[in-house]
Amino acid sequence: MAPPLIQLKDIALTFGGTPLLSGVELTVSESERLCLVGRNGSGKSTLLKIAAGLMASDGGSRFVQPGATVRYLPQEPDFSGFETTLAYVEAGMGPGDDPYQARYLVEQLGLTGAEHPAHLSGGEGRRAALARVLAPSPDILLLDEPTNHLDLTTIEWLEGELGARRGALVLISHDRRFLANLSRSTAWLDRGRVRQIDRGFANFEEWRDEVLAEEERDQHKLDRKIVAEEHWLRYGVSGRRKRNVKRLAGLHELRRQRRDYRGTAGSANLAAAEADKSGKLVIEAKGIGKSYERTIVDQFSIRIQRGDRIGIVGPNGAGKTTLINMLTGAETPDGGTIRLGANLEMATLDQHRESLDPKSTLMEALTGGRSDHVMVGGKPKHVVSYMKDFLFAQEQMRTPLEALSGGERGRLMLARALAKPSNLLVLDEPTNDLDLETLDVLEDMLGDYEGTVILISHDRDFLDRVVTSVIVPEGNGRWVEYAGGYTDMLAQRGADLKREAPKSTPASETERSAKNAPAATAPGKRRLSFNEKHALETLPKSIAKLQTEIAKQQQHLDDPDLYAKDRAAFDKASGALAKAQTELQLAEDRWLELEMLREEIEEA
């Protein structure tokens, strides 16, 4: 069995009282696809930083295979000291890395490379950080919430890119579909310890429930055993003293086990404060449009009725927020009409959490600084009780917002939005940073909500579970509603979403126009991409190097006495030969494929 690329043994770390990590073991082997899951605040990001060598633990050891390259994607990358995004990406390259990859990945991720890092949006910053860690093609990629701030187009591109790579991958993400499509093993960080299984995330939740059910049965047996031993202690007939002392010590040990047991964290108690029912018709839009430097929405019409769950998806910059603002009356369309139904009470969740004062406390953010009660559905509720519904401890009441984790800020925004009586919920990226358990509760709450829901989300699994129809941009300001969830939309549409090219016709509309155009107006001539040209130029050199390596290892193995003299050297040469032969086959196939494509293009 090959040695691990990264191995953490008996890792311990404590902040304050309760240990965050206690005896954690984590192993990542070559080409492994591992997802690291756990509740918000369980220490996933901290453990990943320890694996990356960026944080020291209180105890335990960290091993990294000599010569293995490691790249780590933080949730909040540091762009200071860089004048352009390309310079930032190139700074992550090593001496032997291909410099062309930096520019290629910057372009693939929708950047020019000339952007100043100080002026990047959240999505642009995330794309630049991804390009930086992907460009060197490291042996181990450690990615902390790589899909945060990304639109669906980029998420699906990233999924394909990571799936095609050979290096090992460790993922932290709240995106179920992303984890299920990429992972082949799972590490569950729970109450300071890691359980690791050789199954991907698709099987995780069923396995987790089995583990917790077994744990609950064990605790029940322990409680019964303690009761039986305490009964003996009080009423049993004393035997030999030595035997009684031993049995008493056993009872003390059982009590210690029960005392030291850390039960699972509770679930959030999400419930929207509901107002009286709205009219049957909630929103009717006829031929609405909006333009700035380009057309954002053009001649869009829709009828939204009470109880509908509408999802709005699309690339960043497509105009999702503009569309939702027009539908809810927050923004006036340039043309067309909007009619809002009777008795509407709307509650909104804004994705821009930075609008909160970071110096204010959790209590002030919930109560408005007015008292120690929160108005929930028009009725006062003590702030501590309401905090507990959203998994906040009483001690956090005076915690400044800047000290909260991303998941805690997400729960805070939900708590503020759901306190207001409503029959129309408008949610902009409600799943950002929420852990899987809170996502489950949010989905159940939206399912039970009797009002109407309009939401923007890039979480495909969440859309499939919640919405009844999806609105998608088709290019040039045209938006279309599809029945069902995200997967249903793709099946009806027959294509994935495409990112709009800046200041030009959107890619999806261009492709559809070309497909439907008459034969006389065929699309423009196919050209080799930057990456394809570069591969054609560099693959012959790579093939020559691999052929030399194969000849070298074959020469070692031609020695008939090598196995008997040095078994380790024989195994090493055999492994290197097999690896080089596999890489040569792949390189030759790729070069042949590109050469045939080049000839087809030249002959067209």
Q: Is 45 annotated as a binding residue?
A: yes
Q: Is 319 annotated as a binding residue?
A: yes
Residue 594 to residues 163, 584, 588: CA-CA distances in angstroms? 21, 15, 10
Is the per-residue pLDDT at 228 higher than 60? yes
Q: Are 314 and 273 in contact (CB under 8 A)?
A: no
What would the mean pLDDT of 271-280 be, rounded to a whole number? 79
- Gap between the Cα atoms of 423 and 431, Å rounded: 20
Q: What are phi and psi of 455, to 5 degrees?
A: -140, 150
Q: Is 9 annotated as a binding residue?
A: no
Q: Is 290 annotated as a binding residue?
A: no
Q: Is 43 annotated as a binding residue?
A: yes
Q: Is 320 annotated as a binding residue?
A: yes
Low-confidence winner among 85-94, 193-202, 270-279 (lowest mean pLDDT): 270-279
Q: Are 225 and 254 in contact (CB under 8 A)?
A: yes
Most confident range, picked from 266-280, 455-469, 535-549: 455-469
Is the per-residue pLDDT at 559 higher than 90? no
Q: Is 524 annotated as a binding residue?
A: no
What are the start-end ranges of the E strands in 173-329?
185-190, 193-197, 281-291, 295-305, 309-312
Q: Are 143 and 133 in contact (CB under 8 A)?
A: yes
Is the per-residue pLDDT at 83 higher than 90? yes
Q: Is 321 annotated as a binding residue?
A: yes
Low-confidence winner among 58-67, 152-161, 370-379 (lowest mean pLDDT): 370-379
C-beta atoms surrounding 78 within 10 Å? 10
pLDDT tens digit string along 295-345? 999 999 999 999 999 999 988 888 998 999 999 999 999 999 999 999 998
Q: Are 94 and 124 in contact (CB under 8 A)?
A: no
Output the pLDDT for position 231.
Answer: 62
C-beta atoms surrounding 551 within 10 Å? 11
Choose between 231 and 204: higher pLDDT.
Answer: 204
Q: Is 315 annotated as a binding residue?
A: yes
Output the pLDDT for position 355.
Answer: 59
N-terminal to C-terminal alpha carbon distance within the chain: 51
- Gap between the Cα atoms of 366 and 405, Å rounded: 17
What pTM does this model have?
0.69
C-beta atoms surrounding 515 within 10 Å? 9
User: One-letter amino acid identity for 408?
Assistant: E
DSSP output for 442-500: HHHHHHH--SEEEEE---HHHHHHH-SEEEEEEETTEEEEEESSHHHHHHHH-S---PP
What would the mean pLDDT of 425-429 be, rounded to a whole number? 89
Q: Is 307 annotated as a binding residue?
A: no
Q: What are phi and psi of 41, to 5 degrees?
A: 85, 0
Q: Is 579 annotated as a binding residue?
A: no
